[in-house]
Amino acid sequence: MSLMTNYSASPLIRIENLCKSYSLQDANGKTITNQILFNLNLTIYQGEFVAIMGHSGSGKSTLMNILGCLDTPTSGSYWLGEKNVAALSNDELAHIRNQSIGFVFQGFNLLKRMTALDNVATPLLYAGVSRSNSRRQALELLRRTGLENFAMHQPNQLSGGQQQRVAISRALVNRPPLILADEPTGNLDTQTSREIMLLFAQLNCEQGITIVLVTHENDIAAYAKRLIRLKDGHIIVDENNTAGVVSDEIA
């Protein structure tokens, strides 16, 4: 089912006839091909907030890895902005991951021995920004996400929600046009999950950041403006989320 969208913005993500398969050898040395994604066609425009849903084994994590330039398609094409991702070298893919994509994971993936401030500043250091400027920009993001007073805390001194806010700050620090969030509330309680999703909605509404979220929870997907459902490696639903969460807190 294809979604006809009224977005006037440019496509940020465009995949055409995308397939992904893995080859394995059985005990007898015979090669077995396991296909995960089948001829996917999908366009996501700048400024969209998209939730990708599906049961375990549906292919949503594989698709997310490809969108995040952590994996490449077996066939078909993937364009991120003006870049044909499938044709890029490993070094070029690493550059895109650092400059154009912010990642938020279920497990936070913070560096345990670093403070919140230095966790947020690290991507800027990899990009060649000086330590002083990196820390200044990181502190500003922690201020915007309500964690300025926790800047010198290490992850084990923070709650799960605070750790995820640090992870979101880190994802934003290079000002990427795209945030990919993989089950970002999976380790959080209901109230904290709501706060994190409101933060994502705010970033999308106020700053126009494109957000692609993978989740299996309907109440989390409800914050998105568009829902995509995968089943057995196929897109079976692609629709506007007219019943999504509307909150007076997003202003």
Q: Predicted confidence band at 245 (pLDDT cuts at 50, 70, 90)?
A: low
Residues listed for the chain? 251
CA dihedral of residues 238, 241, 242, 247 (deg, nearest 10): -170
> Do 148 and 121 share a domain, yes or no?
yes
Within a domain: residue 145? yes
* pLDDT in the model for residue 1: 37
Its domain, for residue 18, covers: 1-22+33-100+178-184+205-242
Are the C-beta atoms of 88 and 124 separated by less than 8 Å? Answer: no
Q: What is the CATH number of the domain that holds 84?
A: 3.40.50.300
* pLDDT in the model for residue 194: 93
Within a domain: residue 200? no
For the chain, give the percent of residues with pLDDT over 90: 71
What is the rounded average pLDDT of the residues 44-69?
94
> Do 96 and 114 share a domain, yes or no?
no
> Do 56 and 128 share a domain, yes or no?
no
* pLDDT in the model for residue 250: 52
Q: What is the dihedral sign for C-alpha 147, 153, 158, 163?
A: positive
Within a domain: residue 16? yes
> Do 56 and 16 share a domain, yes or no?
yes
Tokens 């060649």 sit at which residue?
128
* pLDDT in the model for residue 6: 44
> Do 138 and 70 share a domain, yes or no?
no
**4 CB contacts (<8 Å, ≥6 apart)?**
none
* pLDDT in the model for residue 243: 67
What is the rounded average pLDDT of the residues 74-91?
91
Domains: count for the chain: 2
> What is the distance between the alpha carbons of residues 103 and 179, in angstroms, rounded to a whole number?
6
The per-residue pLDDT for range 124-182, each reduced to its tens digit, is: 988 889 999 999 999 999 998 899 999 999 999 999 999 999 999 999 999 999 999 99
> Do 237 and 150 share a domain, yes or no?
no
Domain closes at, from 119, 154, 175: 175
The per-residue pLDDT for range 206-217, each reduced to its tens digit, is: 999 999 999 989
* pLDDT in the model for residue 111: 92
For the chain, give the percent of residues with pLDDT over 70: 93
Q: Predicted confidence band at 23 (pLDDT cuts at 50, 70, 90)?
A: confident
Within a domain: residue 120? yes
> Do 94 and 116 share a domain, yes or no?
no
Neighbours of 59 (CB within 10 A): 22
Tokens of 155: 């992850």
User: Could you give phi then psi for residue 246, rounded to 5 degrees?
Assistant: -120, 125
Region for 10 from its dihedrals, namely left if φ exceeds 0, alpha if ψ lies in -120 to 50, beta otherwise: beta
Mean pLDDT estimate for the chain? 90
* pLDDT in the model for residue 26: 77
